[in-house]
Amino acid sequence: MGGVLGIIPDTTTNAWNQTMTESNQFSLMRQRRFAPLFFTQFLGAFNDNVFKYAFSVLLAFRLAADAELSSDTLINLAALLFILPFFLFSATAGQIADKYEKSTLIRWVKLFEILIMSLAAVAFYFDIRWGLMGLLFLMGTQSTVFGPLKFGILPQHLSDRELMGGNGLIEMGTFLAILLGTMLGGILVGFEAGSLLVSVTIIGASLLGYYVSRFIPRAEPVAPDLVVKKNPVTESWHIFQLVRENRTVFLSILGISWFWFYGGTYLAQLPNYTKITLAGNEQVVTILLAVFILGIGSGSLLCERLSGQRVELGLVPFGSIGLTLFGIDLYLANLAFTPASVPGASAFLSAQGSTRILLDLFLLGLFGGFFIVPLYALVQQRSRRSHLSRIIAGNNILNALFMVLSAGLAIVLLSYGLSIPELLLLTSVLNAFVAVYIYTLVPEFLMRFIIWILISTIYRVKKEALDQIPDEGPAVLVCNHVSFVDALLIGGTVRRPVRFVMYYKIFQIPILRFVFKTAKAIPIASSKEDPEMLEEAYDKVAQELSEGHLVCIFPEGVLTDDGEVNTFKKGIERIIARTPVPVIPMALRGLWGSLFSRKDDNGLSSFPWRLWSRVALVVGPPVAPEEASAETLQAAVSALRGEWR
């Protein structure tokens, strides 16, 4: 069989990977290195939620009637039992995932799921309440082990440029599975033979999940010599030390955990919000849940398109802005909403203000997708591969902690008289403060946001032959210099971080200076203006190249004042002589006459006609260092630019 359901080619060669990265994220669904993992995690999340929601309904309407505890207490106890393993076993799960081959571990996890669901079928049939409670704990354990495997295996099978698309699909699939599982669990348990129907469903889904998992390709151990230590307290602390080694990764994990705090607050309050504020019933809860989750799925899928197949941190501030703005608007929409006199889906949908509420919930989910997907991709990209699963385990511990804090804070604030809309408003306002705090500590997020806005709104950038730029290793990029934002356009288009050498007066432009400084740009001056700055710039370029980075130079030294390529200065030859690395010529097309060029001395004079300009970045083949001279590089850049200035 060629692959799962006959649609997944067995080939995983580099040539195949190269071809597929030129397509969009949905091409991954036809490949064995991704599709089996996607369907395995989808079926697992679906199964979890069929079980959990069916059990919650039974607790609320049947099992609690014979219990000494209230249904609310039993439901909260069930939620605690599911989340407890994330605190107890995440550290061990992360170590195991780093030490052993992941595809085999995933299959063992799915076999464990089959056992759990088989026992659950018996417990459902005989209404064994405490048995189902214990199985919730085992389900949480299974999810705890699967999480580091799922996110740890992705970077082993996907390239960096596929991480956004792959994570977007995983997040979309997870939330869609949550929606479908929750809805189906509630529907099935309502039938007279509900327990039997739920049992057949969860056993069938677990068997199918195991079958699909058998097609996941091998992912070799990243730390085979690791000694697994069993003490959860000491190992959790050790994992947090690993997480904190990279400041950006640590703060990204805090951002992910905050999202689960934010989303957990909204999802937990949705039933009572519907009942008390909207005067709706279970049908309305399902509609609101569906709209919110479809928003998250849509945002997750759009991330790849908006990011240009790179890990685009600029989407994170964009997402946080939307989470705050539409959270506030949801509160305002509640004030304008007129509840229907009869609870029900049709009555709610016809009520005045319902459309605005639904739109706000969808957009909250949409911007939540923009927020969460790049953060997961960033953690995978910037963590050491030998530690990634343990770092994901640390992320899971923090996620669980933030979800518990979310529930605890909601209980306290609601008990002090805060209404549910006010609680949701407070959460949205808190989101703004959390975002500002994170972006102050890691200005790279805000820098990337400014660049992303620039290349997504003011310009329409066409990219040609970006694969000429190597995925790793040092190289010098040389390009014509047309506008004040050339560096931003290049930095926002090239998939790797680029260190720019730029004239110090451009480096000092307000607002842009923040971007250039955060991107570790290297200011330079002529020998007449500041010989000391010039020498420091050459030293810094040599250091960056020796560390394996890309350095971009505009060898003309000045912006063009007529749209033509000026003479390249000899500084490029000095750089290559000191550090012989490949030189990659590039050309910007279409920027002459745009908003930030020097045409007519002021690019702003023709506003708004120079906004949304169509421009292009064209990359040529690398030039060997021994063949790189100012004259040959100027000729190469001029040829790439052609007649389109």
pLDDT by residue (tens digit) across 482-498?
A: 988 888 888 888 877 88
Which amino acid appears at position 539 of this protein? Answer: D
Q: Is 268 part of any domain?
A: yes
pLDDT tops 80 at residue 613: no
Q: How far is CA 14 from the centre of its chain?
A: 25
Instruction: Decide: helix, strand or coil at residue 503.
Output: strand
Indicate if the alpha-carbon torsion angle 64, 69, 75, 80 is positive or negative.
negative
pLDDT tops 90 at residue 477: yes
Pairing between β-strand 498-503 and β-strand 550-553 as defined by DSSP bridges: parallel
Same-domain pairing of 414 and 501: no
Separation of alpha carbons 194 and 190, rounded Å: 6
Strands (E), 81-127: none
Q: Is 237 part of any domain?
A: no
By the 8 A CB rule, do 125 and 369 touch?
no
Residues of the chain by 3-state class (helix, strand, coil), percent to 5: 70, 5, 25
Q: Average per-residue pLDDT in the chain?
A: 86
Residue 154: domain span: 1-230
Which amino acid appears at position 356 of this protein? Answer: R
**How many domains are there within the chain?**
3
User: Omega into 608 within 30° of 0, i.e. cis?
Assistant: yes
Overall pTM surpassing 0.85 (yes/no): no
Same-domain pairing of 192 and 288: no
By the 8 A CB rule, do 589 and 615 touch?
yes
Phi and psi for 479 in degrees, rounded to 5?
-150, 155
Separation of alpha carbons 558 and 554, rounded Å: 8
Q: Is 448 part of any domain?
A: no
CA 608-613-619 angle, 5° bins: 160
By the 8 A CB rule, do 93 and 228 touch?
no
pLDDT tens for residues 108-141? 999 999 999 999 999 988 878 788 889 999 999 9
Which amino acid appears at position 213 of this protein? Answer: S
Q: Which residues of 107-125 are buried (b: 16+ CB within 10 A; e: fewer)?
A: bebbebbbebbebbbebbe
Q: Name the helix (H) or strand (E) containing 498.
A: strand 498-503
Average pLDDT over residues 269-274: 86
Per-residue pLDDT band at 23 (split at 50, 70, 90): low
Question: 């669901």: which residue's tokens?
Answer: 117
Can you give the CATH number for the domain in which 53 is found? 1.20.1250.20
Same-domain pairing of 422 and 468: no
Instruction: Decide: helix, strand or coil at residue 220.
Output: coil
Q: In what order do the strands lie in the sheet with 550-553?
A: 459-464, 613-619, 583-589, 475-479, 550-553, 498-503, 522-524
pLDDT tops 50 at residue 348: yes
Q: Is 81 part of any domain?
A: yes
Contact partners, residue 380, CB within 8 Å, separation at least 6? 151, 154, 155, 163, 167, 388
Q: What region does 612 belong to: left with phi over 0, alpha with psi -120 to 50, or beta? A: left
Other CB atoms within 10 Å distance of the CB of residue 250: 21
- Which of 50-64, 335-349, 355-369, 597-611: highest mean pLDDT? 355-369
pLDDT tens for residues 145-180? 999 999 999 999 998 888 888 999 999 999 999 989
Q: Name the helix (H) or strand (E) containing 190.
A: none
pLDDT tens for residues 409-435? 888 898 888 999 999 999 999 999 988
Same-domain pairing of 496 and 525: yes
Separation of alpha carbons 358 and 282, rounded Å: 16
Gyration radius (Cα) of the chain, Å: 27
Question: 């120079």: which residue's tokens?
Answer: 610
Would you state the structure tokens that stand for residue 277, as one six-digit string?
Answer: 């504020």
Same-domain pairing of 284 and 402: yes
Last residue of a domain, one of 230, 256, 273: 230
Q: Name the helix (H) or strand (E) containing 397.
A: helix 388-415
Average pLDDT over residues 339-353: 86
Can you give the CATH number for the domain in which 534 is found? 3.40.1130.10
Average pLDDT over residues 584-613: 69
Closest CA to 358 of 274, 444, 482: 274
Average pLDDT over residues 221-245: 88
Q: Is 565 part of any domain?
A: yes
Q: Is 634 part of any domain?
A: yes
Same-domain pairing of 475 and 599: yes
In this prediction, residue 101 carries a pLDDT of 96
Same-domain pairing of 342 and 488: no
Residue 622 per-residue DSSP state: P
SS (H, E, C) 117-173: HHHHHHHHHCCCHHHHHHHHHHHHHHHHHHHHHHHHHHHHHCCHHHHHHHHHHHHHH
Residue 226 per-residue DSSP state: P
Least confident residue range of 281-285, 453-457, 501-505, 561-565: 453-457
Closest CA to 258 of 423, 399, 373, 361: 399
Same-domain pairing of 399 and 459: no
Average pLDDT over residues 11-23: 40
By the 8 A CB rule, do 459 and 472 touch?
no
Percentage of the chain with pLDDT > 70? 91
Q: Is 447 part of any domain?
A: no
Partners of 584 in beta bridges: 477
Same-domain pairing of 208 and 288: no
Torsion of the alpha carbons at 507, 512, 517 and 523, rounded to the nearest 10: -10
Contact partners, residue 87, CB within 8 Å, separation at least 6? 232, 236, 397, 400, 401
Same-domain pairing of 132 and 68: yes
Instruction: Decide: helix, strand or coil at residue 197.
Output: helix
Q: Is 55 part of any domain?
A: yes
Average pLDDT over residues 48-72: 69
Same-domain pairing of 275 and 216: no
Phi and psi for 258 in degrees, rounded to 5?
-65, -40
Same-domain pairing of 474 and 430: no
